[in-house]
Structure 1
């Protein structure tokens, strides 16, 4: 029972930190103003981990490599600590290679979950409260994903089906990641 509670708390902490790091990289990619209150919150939460990584890796013009690397490190630590909590023993050296790949898949899973939830939240708020203070942020973050879909879909007047298409695509990506993880790590 104690291991289940520890596993639960570890999952929450790692997922929230991983999401914050991915959002930091995402705000870098969309060039969200660093003085935006949401950007400031994300930077404050993640700076302790990103700054040491930034001494080794420099961010690119579009991709914030230090933030993504930090998310990968969080995912790796999450998987290794989960193994230790679940089994009560240290993982073998031979399982470190698969853990490195599993950490990348975990970061990808976090990313597609963020896409799914941000798109869903934006769609609901556009109907319920389109003037919500978080709407400009959601529109800025999801526009690079929704705009290519909007160019492909036919114009249906006042109805925008691009969030629905993005939700379906994100869900399919999560299913594919699940299959890939199962295929890679099935014994």
Structure 2
């Protein structure tokens, strides 16, 4: 059962992150014609497309992607409980825990975007089409820190500060919700 739990949790987490990435890409006005952007749209379009006819968008906010990510986060824990102990428990507490799972997934997505941007800056040095998208995604996180902490000796420490802040928030979640944080 642990293997099945791992696969289901991983698939749900990845799809939540892809939906949040689509939302984030629209919010930051990423290049839609980039190959990476097209991949994210193609992965999410079979579910997001039909729901767009039912759920309207609010301005620049992609409400369908946000709604789907929230729904997946809310059903994740009851589904994992069903797999582990073969009992379906739907409780308002599990649904509220879904909000925590949503916030944790958003934090993990931010972490991975900053890590990938940092690695791409060392490896491809701006020659990859993905560099542009990851720059556009991570710049709203890194620019405010760069304004406070300028580059020292030609080295930009803003990515490291963002990662440290995300780690601190993750540890805060572990402290505040110690019983459930690890299952999210």
Which residue pairs with 1:164 in the alignment?
A: 160
SS in 2 for 1:182: coil
Cα pair 2:5 2:83 within 8 Å, conserved: yes
Which residue pairs with 1:181 in the alignment?
A: 177
Which residue pairs with 1:110 in the alignment?
A: 105
Shift of 1:54: 2.8
Deviation string 1:24-61 (CA, Å, 9 cap, x unpaired) is 00011011233322222111111232234434432233
**Distance in 2 separating the partners of 1:32 and 1:59:** 18
CA separation of 1:44/1:155 partners in 2, compared to 1, >3 Å: closer, same or farther? closer
Shift of 1:125: 2.5
**Distance in 1 separating the partners of 2:28 and 2:147:** 19
Q: How many aligned residue pairs are there?
A: 180
Which residue pairs with 2:96 in the alignment?
A: 101
TM-score computed with the length of structure 1 as normaliser: 0.86
- Structure 1 gaps of 5+ residues are none
SS in 2 for 1:51: helix
- Structure 2 gaps of 5+ residues are none
Which residue pairs with 2:83 in the alignment?
A: 85
Aligned mate of 1:141, from 133, 137, 147: 137
TM-score computed with the length of structure 2 as normaliser: 0.87
Which residue pairs with 1:73 in the alignment?
A: 71
